[in-house]
Structure formats: C-alpha cells, structure tokens
Structure 1
C-alpha cells in the first residue's frame, strides 16, 4: 500500500472510530517471526509517560515476562523528534515528553511462542494476543483503540473485535481491556460462519490436519447452544463469537477470551474418537469461560492488573468448575456418550486419590498459590491442582445440591446467580457471595461444608455422593483377566525409558518408604533387568516381598529393599447400581440432563 493511501486510510479509520490510542503492526519478516509495532498515544498531560508491556496474559496464571520479545524501542513526538526513553522495570519504558505532545513508540517484536498463545508469526499466519504484542499506558487504558495490520497479500484477518473503517485488516475496541481480550488471527486459514440462538458463530482454522471442518463447525454449534441453555439463553457477548483453531506441529492448549477462544491441538489429533472428544471438551471448557471468568470472576481480578500477580482464593471455581461443566455440556449436547462421561470422571477421581498433596493443601490455598505452582513430583505430593480439585468439588457441590433440592436445582443455578448478580461490571464475586448463592439455591447453610472441603483438606465423600444418583466408584477387574491383582510400588517412570527413569514417587508409598526418589534409574528388580515397558511384568514374577531393587543415583549403584502392596488389577470406573431406586434414577437424570438408560450394562 502506498504511503499516501495508507495515511488516508488510517486517518479515516481513526477519525471514524474516534480512537485515542492507535496501533499499527507491520509484519517485517514473517519467516524470522519479526514485526514492527507502532503505538500512538494522545497528548501527554505530564512530563513523562510510562508505557507497559503486560507481565502475564489472562487465562494463564503465571508471570510470563512478555517484554522479552521487544527490541529497538524508541519514542517520538508528533513533530518527529526523538524522545528520551529509559526502562524502569522489565516491562516498563518511561518516555520523557512535554505536556501537550503526542507520543508514538516504535519497537521490533519477535513473535515465536505459539504454545504460550501470546504471539506467533510465520510465513502462513500471525496469532496476536495484545498482552504480548501491544504496549499500553495506564492513563489511556480506558480510551478507544484502533489496530491496523500490514500483512502479506492474500492473508485474511479475524478477531472478535469489530472491523475498522479502512477494511478487513483494521479492528477497533472501546478500550485496551477489550483489545487484550480479543486476539487476532491473520493469515491463510479456513473460515466458516453460522448462527446459533441468534448469534453469529465464526470458526477460523489454521494449519492442515486430520479434522473434518464441517463436522467441527456443527459440533461447536451444539456446544454453543447447550452452554447458552445452562444460563437460560443469556449470552454475555453481543452478536458474534469467534473460535480460532490451530492445528499444530505438536503444541496444545487453549485460552478463553471475552468474544473468542483459541484452541491448539497437534494436527493429527482430531480424527480418533478419544482425540476428537478431547478437542470438543476443550472447546466446551473455553466457551463456558465466556461466562465464568470473562463475564464474572473473583473480585481480586476486577479489573485485571497486568503487571503483577492477581492473587485470589477462588481459581478452583473459575477454572475447576469450568472443567466440571465441560463434561456436562458435551454429554447434554449429545457429543459425548454416558459411559465416556463416567470414564472421564472415574479417571479424575482415581488421579485425585493418588495425590497425597490433597492432605497438604486446600482448594483455596491452591488457588492463591497457582502463580507459583510447581510441576513434577512436588505437584502430586505437596499440592492440589485447581482444575482437578475444582472439578471434583464441582461434582460434590452439584450432587449435594441435587440431593437437597430433590433434583430441582444444581450447580448451574449457582453460576446463573453469579452471572446475574456478580458480573465484572458489578465488581465480581468472593467466597461469601458463592455461599450466599448456594444458600439461595438450596435453602441450606453451606458454611460447614465450605470449611471442610474448600478451606480445609477433608476427603471428598465420593462414595456417599455417587450413591445418591445410583452410581458407585470402583476398580473394575475384567472377568477374563489372568491376574486379578498387581504389585503397586508408587513410582512413575518415563514412558519408553530403558532402563526405567523414575519421574515421580508418591508420598508415603512403598517406593517412598524404600528411599526411591525422582531421578533414580531403575536397572533391576530381584536380579532381573527392567525397562519402563516391562517393569510391571518383572514385579509380577515375585509372589511375595521384599523386593530387591537396584538403581543408579549420581552414577552410583544402589540396592534398596522394596515392599510393594497388592492391589486389584483393573481400571477405575463409575458404574450404575444393578437395582437403583426410583429416586436415584430421577436424581441421576436431573444431574446429567439425560434419561437413565434402560439397557445400562452392569
């Protein structure tokens, strides 16, 4: 585009939108992941202007140091005179200016972090989340913004934001908070538009893969409708929502936004039933977030503070309850089968029961500490996961509410109250608001329950809860299994490692008591060489303990005595009662939103 035409277009765009903060991004070298960014701010009211790049992005509760992609940062006034700039912290630049001068900052941006879902540019597309792309100034955070992209010929640009006056590569937003929550996908992609409940639902798919585009769009529409039903048909966005799907070389994940979501899956993980169901559950999770987190969220995150941690004790509600509803949404939408739903929850319960950290950290503590949460062995032994714990607390809350109201009400009614009475515009919610909503729905006081299971570390009574809906949790041993039991040591080893590399040791397990630690390399059990593949088989050769374990630690050979325990050899399952009562079947149907199956396999 010629300079005069570009200037005319920008003038038209900014004048029509009455934008006070103007952004331009030019892809300078797509293959090398480089762009030039310009941000123009209104006339300064003081002698300095602090300009920030966020230190984290919404939906990821971790400091990401997003300013690390910025180089060659400079500032000029509206006369083109260069202004002095000094960095005051890792994500802040202080510009020296004069009152009345407009300020434009220019910098080179390196964008090659696709898996973080912040910024990625290559020769086929650019994914731009403002948190890692566009700087802001506190004084103008609530001012209208406009974005103009200069991209290669043939590219198309999509966003949950509205287009600006100068065409398909322009977007406008009422403020920076909307911009930062409205990522842009520009490049070569498939694009589909449909309508659900009077809303326009757009789908942009980047990357080749083994997906069925038409089936994907149809199933996403079912998710949209079913989620809307949970909230009585009330949607938090106005007219349009965008699903951005990335079929990648290996990275995966997803992030919610106020008018869109981005979902990343390895390109060959769409076809198999299990893989595709994982994609649909992820889509349901992110779309539910359009209400839970984007429309209403813990008050400590209203408004977001982009420069530091937003501590709060309720991320288990924001994230974990969302994980709970993702399964219900796909089940009620007819995308997931009843036995698949039960299998998924059995796996969640089994995983949770093998987390000694559940006795070390409460749900509220885990939420507050999510910003410093660790992975690996320490995660399992000393903490709980806000997604897993919050999902299972969601199950517990829902089933208890169903019992208390004889099936008339459930956890979705609590979330409707939060949506209607404690939105972001109303200041968000706190623990007292949730307990009040629970009381409003059930007529019961939930303070004691909250003290035990949210602020405390009491064991969730899965057996009692599931019994109310005619189900039971058990380890199901196949009838034709040659061996009904197996030795359990409590270690986890790296898949495919030979010899077997220990990655985790469960607290107070036989391996823990024997002195095995993460990082040990197991070479033999009872004199027999072992690998990750045959470790279980070698253990099964011994009929009684103790076992002699040989391992390397710091390249030194050690011998330890291990006393594993026998446990049922099978898969955790949730199974229906053979003869459920009428009340149990009714509560089950109210909970799942599907009728009790007449030919349920026992």
Structure 2
C-alpha cells in the first residue's frame, strides 16, 4: 500500500542506475545490537546541499490505519558531519526540522520494535522483521533521492531476506517509497527457490519443521504464480519473494510490489492448505491490483495523515474475486467449494443491517475507522472486502452477459494493466473501472455502479446467477447464540461490546469491554469469527477474559438463534447453454470440469 508507481517499474534497472549515479544517496544504518530489549538504533545520513530539512516519521503504512509509529521512538538528535549538534525543532508529533545542515546531517534515534506480524516491526532474540516505514523517517526534500540501507550487529548465524537489491554491504532502493515497500526478514529462517512463470521465486519460512513444510507449500505456490501470470498475460517482475511466519496470535498478509509477507497458524501449513492458498493467491495478485493497477486517490502517498480512497472495494475486494478465479483455473479450488464460499460471503453481507446504509465506496472511505470497536457492529458497517468480492463476481457476469462471454473480469484487469500500469499512470477510482468495463462489454453499466457500488440497493442475486444455471436459496438455520457481541481490531484481542441482559453470558459474569484471550482453549486473536461460527447450540463455551489487568475464566451453556443463510445451488433444470456458460465463467472454457 506504500508504493508510488513511477516509470522505474517499467525500466527498473536503467532508471535505478541512472538515479543512483546522478544523485547523492540518503544512507540509513540500522543496528540490531539490543534484541533483548527490542531496541533498534537508526542513523540517517543526509547529503549536503540544503541548510534546512523537514523530517517525517510516517503515521501509517501497510494498514489503512493511523498508527502513529512515533509512539515507539525513545529519543532523537541531529549532528553535522563533524559531530556538532544541529538545531532540531519538533513541528508536530511526527515531524521535525533540522537547521544548519548545509554540510550534511546525521540524525540518530532509537525505536522500540516489538509488534509482530506482516504489518509490524519486531526485533527480538529470535529474529527481526521490519515494515521499514515504521522505523525509518525521511527528509521531505530527499524523498525521491536514491537510498542505501545497511543492517549492522546482526548475529553471525542470521541471514537477510528482502526484495531490495544488494549493493555489497547493504541494500539500495530507487527512493524512499520503494524502500518502505520492501519487507525485511532477518533471522535463521529456512528457504528455497524455484524458477517459474515470470522469473525466480524465493520462499522463506520461519517455523519449526520449516524444511518439511516448504516441501508441502511450494507446489501450490508454483501453480498460483503460473495461474496468475497466465490470467493476466503479464510478467512485470523478474524476482519475487514470499516471506512466511507462523503465529499463535494472529494471521494476515501484506502485499508489496516484489514480494509479500504472510503470517499463518502452523496448522494452515500442515493440515488444510486452503487458507494458505487463499491468502497467498490474494497477496500475490496484489502485485498487479493495487501495486501497479493503482487508484489515483492513493497517489501520492501521504505519510502524514489518512489517504482516503473510495476504491478499496476494487483494490481489495475484487482482488479476492480474481484470486479465486485463479485458484479455480489452477486446479486449487473446485466448483462446489467455490460456490459454497460465495454463499457464505452473501450470508455475511445480507446479515449485516448496514448493507442497506453503507455502500461499497463508503466502506472504502471509512476503512480508517476500523480501529474503533464500535465501527465493527453489524448495524454500523460492512466490509469492502466482502461487498467488493461479490460486486466483482456480479460485474464479471454482467460483462459476460452483455458480450456473449467475450468480455469478462479478466479482460477488465488486462485492459487496466495495459492502459494504466504499463504507462506508469493511475486510474480514476470507480469511474475508471466502470468506463473500462463499458468499453469492453459495449454496454452501459452506470446503473449497476449506481446501485451496487455507490448505492445500497438490495442485490437481486437470482437475476445475476440465472445465466449460469444457478440460484440463491434462503434457508433458516439454528446457530449458537453466545449472548454477547464482540469486535476484533486487526491483531488485537476481541473486545466484548455488549452482553445481552439476563443471558447465560451475563449470568456467567461476562461484561462489556472484557478482552477475550482464549476461546475453548485456543487463542482468541486468531480466527475469532471462525471459532464463533463453529459453536453449536447446547455446547459449552469456555472463555478466558482480561478485565482491568486481571484474568477470569468463564463458561456457560450456549443457547440457539435462527439466522438466514444463503446457498448457491443449481436451478431445477440447467440447460446445456447454462452449463457451457458456467464452465466459461469458472474455468475459462466451454467444457464442464469435474466438480
């Protein structure tokens, strides 16, 4: 989410060399000398030429959340090249001004880094992982300057994994934006590589039994990258890196232009690989969608405040639509499981009352509110991931219907890739998506976008799915009623927002604002919604919660409640034409594939 696309993506080697030799680089030295206390020492060397510089530590990166990384800064000072102190004036919480820096400047500061996960920065005795925007400030006037970074005082058994180019003692980037779009893993990880579609792939894994796990996960990765390159008919890179970690507390992934960092529980690597395949495909496809096919509203990146965009429904939600098509066509997902997943997504949307009050575009703009627990209530918000994925499917079907299957979502992405990404340009949010789809399908889609992208009209599911011989059945099912509602903020423990009066949860002692640490013996921060969905009426729910610094163990018998679920099924009679169109939709051919 931090890459500023420019011509260097098209002429990578030439552009990087010419700028590095034509302009003095900014140099960072990062010391890992104090892992036990999670302290990172950073030195920034600014070349001579200007008397004054404004320094900025980003307030956000990776997640669409203002996280104020300066909260982790212990101290900062500035000297000239001879070691004489320079005047350093703080302008706001994350910004400073250096004066008297005509001969250059050396800025030193210390960061506390113990935020695990692909969105964080962490140094401990086991490893280091950095989203560099969380620890590296920049000089505003030097943001486009070439960059060099060196990591020092690394344990002798540790090695480095990053998409950055090595320049001998360290690494280099074309500018600050490319630098902070490059994750860094430093440790004793296990790795392998392979040559596949587009180029060379490096796969690293920090986990117990990593060598055996790599043998399991590399074959599906090979199919994912081949399927995605085939689907896009494009190879915008020669090297790509997958950085994987196991985690007991949280999972997730972060896309980058030339790599991805992903955290998953070890079970997702060893048992059912479907979560691993889903997140890997989603993050890999991001190298096109959002990293190169990029909305204008996200450019230029503003590290000082929120970057608002109404297009996350496309950049994140439709990314999942495309990723699942790639899985289908790569043999990693079959038709029945795909339709079941689609039904679950419809169920999620339809059972949130906010689907009648918040549009896909509004949800995109409101992404910055996701750190507030109240925003996650079902009557307050929908997910741009959820609504966007479904809109992507419907848009694909609409384009196919209007063009006799000559235009589709795949052609939409290819066209936007040709028109925008390959020319170093950005697309005009939802308007550009609509106009490209209209051009390809030779039909007006204004009403579709007004109703389902910028509007909140109910979606007539059966109308859209009829052309491929499907309908959406509505069923009443009894689910477990836990007696409370909780909301999770990214990698934080779920927080109880309200408890039903006189419910079993209330009688057991659960209270609003309790943090849920464990659910039935498992960490609650991982797959909380999945855990809750798998509860059965009449079962016993065991929670460990934290309240005012103390922990409490609670348990009670679950009640039941009715809920409407949506399932995608065949029409009573499916014609040969509908079967052929479904095969074209799901598998890009006219022959039925095994289900």
Check whether TM > 0.5. Answer: yes
Structure 2 equivalent of residue 313 of structure 1: 310
Structure 1 equivalent of residue 248 of structure 2: 249
Which ranges in structure 1 are unaligned for 5 or more consecutive residues?
1-13, 477-484, 494-499, 505-516, 539-563
Structure 2 equivalent of residue 70 of structure 1: 73
Instruction: Specify the SS of the correspondent of 2:378.
Output: helix
Give every structure 1 segment of 4 or more consecutive aligned residues whose post-TM-superposition deviation is greater than 3 Å: 14-19, 373-379, 485-488, 500-504, 521-525, 529-538, 564-568, 594-600
| In 2, Cα distance between equivalents of 1:302 and 1:121 | 31
| In 2, Cα distance between equivalents of 1:333 and 1:173 | 34
Change (3 A) 1:148 1:327: same
1:32 paired with 2:74, answer no
Change (3 A) 1:523 1:426: closer
Structure 2 equivalent of residue 83 of structure 1: 86
| In 2, Cα distance between equivalents of 1:159 and 1:257 | 11
Q: CA deviation at 1:74?
A: 0.9
Instruction: Specify the SS of the correspondent of 1:228.
Output: helix
Structure 1 equivalent of residue 369 of structure 2: 372
Change (3 A) 1:16 1:503: closer
1:415 paired with 2:417, answer no
Change (3 A) 1:18 1:157: farther
Kindly indicate whether the alpha-carbon contact (under 8 Å) linking 2:313 and 2:384 is maintained by their aligned counterparts in 1: yes
Change (3 A) 1:145 1:23: same
Change (3 A) 1:519 1:228: same
Q: CA deviation at 1:315?
A: 1.1
Question: Highest relative contact order (Cα 8 Å, sep 6+), 1 or 2?
Answer: 2
| In 2, Cα distance between equivalents of 1:341 and 1:79 | 64
My pick for the range that moved more, 137-146 or 573-582, is 573-582
Change (3 A) 1:426 1:474: same
How does 1:249-328 map onto structure 2 within 5 Å? 249-273=248-272, 276-328=273-325
How does 1:427-466 map onto structure 2 within 5 Å? 427-466=426-465
Kindly indicate whether the alpha-carbon contact (under 8 Å) linking 1:284 and 1:330 is maintained by their aligned counterparts in 2: yes
Q: CA deviation at 1:502?
A: 4.4
Instruction: Specify the SS of the correspondent of 1:467.
Output: helix
Per-residue displacement from partner, 1:303-335 (whole Å, max 9, x unpaired)?
211111111211111111112122112221111
Kindly indicate whether the alpha-carbon contact (under 8 Å) linking 1:501 and 1:521 is maintained by their aligned counterparts in 2: no
Change (3 A) 1:67 1:524: closer
Q: CA deviation at 1:198?
A: 4.1
Kindly indicate whether the alpha-carbon contact (under 8 Å) linking 2:310 and 2:365 is maintained by their aligned counterparts in 1: yes
How does 1:100-179 map onto structure 2 within 5 Å? 100-115=102-117, 117-150=119-152, 151-166=154-169, 170-179=170-179
| In 2, Cα distance between equivalents of 1:567 and 1:71 | 50
Instruction: Specify the SS of the correspondent of 1:426.
Output: coil
1:188 paired with 2:188, answer yes
Instruction: Specify the SS of the correspondent of 2:122.
Output: strand
Q: CA deviation at 1:249?
A: 2.8
Instruction: Specify the SS of the correspondent of 1:213.
Output: helix
Kindly indicate whether the alpha-carbon contact (under 8 Å) linking 2:53 and 2:140 is maintained by their aligned counterparts in 1: no
Q: What is the aligned counterpart of 1:401 among 399, 402, 412?
A: 399
Q: CA deviation at 1:443?
A: 0.1
| In 2, Cα distance between equivalents of 1:133 and 1:272 | 36
Change (3 A) 1:220 1:522: farther
Please give the TM-score of this superposition, normalised by the length of structure 2.
0.82
Kindly indicate whether the alpha-carbon contact (under 8 Å) linking 1:85 and 1:93 is maintained by their aligned counterparts in 2: yes
| In 1, Cα distance between equivalents of 2:298 and 2:439 | 25
| In 2, Cα distance between equivalents of 1:140 and 1:536 | 60
Instruction: Specify the SS of the correspondent of 1:518.
Output: strand
Q: CA deviation at 1:524?
A: 5.7
1:216 paired with 2:217, answer yes
1:22 paired with 2:27, answer yes
Per-residue displacement from partner, 1:525-563 (whole Å, max 9, x unpaired)?
9x9x9999998459xxxxxxxxxxxxxxxxxxxxxxxxx
Structure 1 equivalent of residue 576 of structure 2: 582
Q: CA deviation at 1:26?
A: 0.9
Give the count of matched residue pairs: 521
| In 1, Cα distance between equivalents of 2:572 and 2:84 | 81
How does 1:28-67 map onto structure 2 within 5 Å? 28-46=33-51, 48-58=52-62, 60-67=63-70
Kindly indicate whether the alpha-carbon contact (under 8 Å) linking 1:322 and 1:391 is maintained by their aligned counterparts in 2: yes
Instruction: Specify the SS of the correspondent of 1:322.
Output: helix
Change (3 A) 1:190 1:361: same
| In 1, Cα distance between equivalents of 2:357 and 2:292 | 32
Which structure has the larger Rg over C-alpha atoms? 1
Q: CA deviation at 1:265?
A: 0.7
My pick for the range that moved more, 578-587 or 368-377, is 368-377
My pick for the range that moved more, 529-538 or 346-355, is 529-538
Q: What is the aligned counterpart of 2:499 among 492, 495, 519?
A: 519
Per-residue displacement from partner, 1:64-111 (whole Å, max 9, x unpaired)?
11111211211111111111223211211222224x221111111211
Which ranges in structure 2 are unaligned for 5 or more consecutive residues?
1-18, 488-496, 511-519, 521-531, 540-559
| In 1, Cα distance between equivalents of 2:143 and 2:504 | 62
